[in-house]
């Protein structure tokens, strides 16, 4: 029971974090120019997270899915820590 709670909590928190970071970085909100320049390749990190999330539903692929969802989360966490100059 505790494993399910931890896994579902991880999925919710990491999913929201990856989605919000992907949307923020793919939109024109951080551009320094007036031209709307959309960088949709940041949404590929969210697509990778979705693939890992879907892999968690198969019993044999549960740990691989967990690791795949961990990759985009670590990438954005690294970017956030670098932006805050903590790392």
**Digit-coded pLDDT (tens) for 13-52:** 999 999 999 988 887 656 566 666 677 888 999 999 999 9
Residue 20: what pLDDT? 93
Please report, for residues 11, 13, 31, the alpha-carbon distance to residue 54 in angstroms, rounded to integers and kept in the order given. Answer: 11, 16, 33
Q: What is the mean pLDDT of residues 50-69?
A: 93
pLDDT at 3 over 90: no
Residue pointed to by tokens 């991880």? 10
Separation between Cα atoms, residue 12 and residue 73, nearest integer Å: 12
């Amino acid at each position: 029971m505790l494993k399910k709670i931890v896994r579902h909590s991880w999925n919710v928190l990491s999913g929201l974090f990856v989605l919000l970071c992907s949307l923020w970085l793919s939109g024109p909100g951080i551009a320094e120019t007036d031209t709307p320049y959309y960088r949709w390749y940041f949404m590929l990190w969210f697509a990778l997270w979705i693939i890992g999330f879907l892999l968690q539903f198969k019993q044999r692929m549960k740990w691989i899915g967990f690791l795949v969802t961990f990759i985009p989360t670590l990438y954005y966490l690294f970017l956030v820590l670098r932006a805050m100059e903590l790392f």
